[in-house]
Structure 1
């Protein structure tokens, strides 16, 4: 390479002349791709300044030419014959600095960085089960590989990953008895929310907890949920096709209903109690709550003795509190207790609502459900239908009701919502989705209240 002197400046001036800029951009890509002097470059649509610069460099007549093709080996010889006597690699280093390197060199550096990170991560393992888990992650396998990659990115930027150290430290201190997650997190991390699943440390803790339980299952399948390293074109790592259980920390609307129960049980196996106060359900017309409505938290629902609960043949469930209140008002006007339970989910059914439905119904109980005629309302209804099967009965949630209620001034579906409706399947009414798509309007429970009240009064006798 040219020596670090005034000749470097002269050489750079020569290389940076406007007529060679486009050529060097293509040469850089080609050289990075091959890692050596190989391949052919084609320049088309040549400008006059490019013709002059190429003619001087290659010592060839460019008069009237609109394109020029050359092999990198020819460029290498031409550069050696200049007064600077440089190579293509010398020129690329001068033009783009010492950070310029071939893809192979990039891969080698990334591989060494990955290995340093994996050794660093392993030192926090402590328990043998965690060390095995970390070794699997280091090989691009195992549950939680995505969060491991997040820690790797932190390590590349900062030289460490504080979230990894925090989570692994907490995993060494799992309680021998039941302890609520915020209390445990405050004791082990100094922050009551330090192990929430919305944080990186919380996600690491979750997957490490499963590793300690030996519950995560690794299997080779083409349908990847937690995949291994990304492709070599992306970051220099060879893609690994591996699969574990789908990440239950996600909040997909349909899946989150049952996943929250699975997650709660997984934490409980490690002595960790998740929030059972914030999840509530409104209920009236049942047992000691026959007259006045009450909001039951999950904690109270789980403590109900199912064997001692009064049996019910039917339950009415509504999505919106305003409808719950209107039905309750109409029922109380009779002066008699409601003859059947009335529940309100207040939107997406909470775990408290689902567990209460599980407890107060049996295989013969009917669950009447009414919700909004929009994407979220249908998703909730479909989820309940899947959970309770033939016991689920849609309550004025059909094409006939929709058609009778919809008006031109009602809020429209967005294009994205229409696309979701096109992919949906409603098991109880084949016409409903077609009618909703044709109309393009949303209908809410408040707009069919009179129809709901009519059924409600009939059922009350």
Structure 2
């Protein structure tokens, strides 16, 4: 046993030094050396006598204070001298003495390794410049975008946290593909496809929170403050939180549910009133029957209301998708086609509206006709709303011949065309049938 070990054994065998060495440990962790003032309150006579013996002092008060350096210096006058006080502490506590700063640096190094490992894994599949990789980099560098959630989980289980980040990363990659196709996924289906657990990304789960952080990063938007904002955020990214959130408004359309014509929708048809239909209502849809041989689909709720008001008592079928086609509308369209009716679709003449119409055409061909979205309609619907360069890029992949020609004109004028500006044309088309 060397001097340091013998010294440590002596102090460890004497309970009078226990509190004193606990304070030594704190100071050494902070400074990495003997520094600072040691303060002990409510000391016993044994503690004061033991510590005073090393320092060469006599303490009379219950509270004692002394410089750490004086205790270290006093040890060099004992039978254990010479001693290395760091090694004495290590032998006393049975571990290496590491300063708080070094501990933090080591922890940070391990955390960095975690993020680098996940980043490397996701970069292989999504590419080094992908949104998901950028999200991880900025999460770590700026300590934002879900960082605190990750660190909280990291403190519980490093391996599980690594798996969590990789799973959420794969989900964000799939979301990019979904945004490109602009089709909808039920949240449960999306969760099951990514993780095998349909509730993995539910609101309130750790994975669900991280997914929302990633989505907000990609969209450069704030984290949702409530359930409504959370639902709207997911819907805007093609994820349907539940079957109730996916809605299509219909007028003049009978629905056959489970093999029987549903009396509620028959009643709406008889009364010539519109109604809202959710994906939940359409779960057991078996057939539809339009009023007449044409079905008109519009994108905008206000346009839908205007057309109904000006076509009162007319035998027409009209649907409103409220922007991007939600799963309820997607489910209805094949049944509308099977009914034999001609389908006409009209949306705003801007990059988003043109892409929706073009996607429908690519999926169903000329079975769905582009309605009032030609170049001459664009001229009549023109507004003063300027289209940004990022949105303009959406027009580069348009395939439908009519829409491609319109898109070319939109690129020249860089302004949006809105259905509200051609309402009379839409009414005349429907009234003339």
Q: How high is the TM-score relative to the length of structure 2?
A: 0.50
2:187/2:201 contact within 8 Å kept = yes
Question: 1:49/1:273 Cα in 2 relative to 1: closer, same or farther (>3 Å)?
Answer: same
Note the C-alpha offset of 1:77.
1.1
Matches within 5 A, 1:140-219: 140-154=142-156, 157-158=158-159, 160-174=161-175, 175=178, 176=181, 177-211=183-217, 214-217=218-221
1:277/1:299 contact within 8 Å kept = yes
Question: 1:12/1:279 Cα in 2 relative to 1: closer, same or farther (>3 Å)?
Answer: farther
Provide the residue aligned with 1:275 in structure 2.
242
Note the C-alpha offset of 1:53.
0.9
Pick from 72, 77, 80 the counterpart of residue 76 of structure 1. 72
Provide the residue aligned with 1:119 in structure 2.
116
1:38/1:72 contact within 8 Å kept = yes
Pick from 89, 94, 99 the counterpart of residue 92 of structure 1. 89
Q: Which runs of 5+ in 2 are unaligned?
A: 248-263, 282-298, 310-433
1:21 equivalent to 2:23? Answer: no
Higher strand share: 2
1:80/1:87 contact within 8 Å kept = no
- Residues 69-105 of structure 1: CA distance to partner in whole angstroms, max 9, x if unpaired? 3211111111223233333322322232316422122
In 1, Cα distance between equivalents of 2:160 and 2:280: 47
Note the C-alpha offset of 1:171.
2.4
2:39/2:65 contact within 8 Å kept = yes
Note the C-alpha offset of 1:119.
0.7
- Residues 163-215 of structure 1: CA distance to partner in whole angstroms, max 9, x if unpaired? 2121112222333322212112222222212222332222222232344xx31
In 2, Cα distance between equivalents of 1:154 and 1:307: 57
Q: How high is the TM-score relative to the length of structure 1?
A: 0.48
1:179/1:272 contact within 8 Å kept = yes
Cα RMSD of the aligned pairs, angstroms, is 3.9
Pick from 125, 134, 139 the counterpart of residue 141 of structure 2. 139
Matches within 5 A, 1:304-323: 306-307=305-306
- How many residue pairs match? The answer is 259
2:86/2:97 contact within 8 Å kept = no
In 2, Cα distance between equivalents of 1:99 and 1:159: 28
1:179/1:273 contact within 8 Å kept = yes
- Residues 292-330 of structure 1: CA distance to partner in whole angstroms, max 9, x if unpaired? xxx9875489999545778xxxxxxxxxxxxxxxxxxxx
Pick from 93, 98, 102 the counterpart of residue 105 of structure 1. 102
Note the C-alpha offset of 1:276.
2.9
Q: Which runs of 5+ in 1 are unaligned?
A: 218-244, 311-461
Higher helix share: 2
2:7/2:88 contact within 8 Å kept = no
- Residues 397-451 of structure 1: CA distance to partner in whole angstroms, max 9, x if unpaired? xxxxxxxxxxxxxxxxxxxxxxxxxxxxxxxxxxxxxxxxxxxxxxxxxxxxxxx
Matches within 5 A, 1:230-379: 245=222, 247-248=223-224, 255-257=226-228, 259-260=229-230, 263-264=231-232, 266-277=233-244, 288=268, 299=279, 306-307=305-306
Note the C-alpha offset of 1:116.
0.9
In 2, Cα distance between equivalents of 1:288 and 1:99: 79
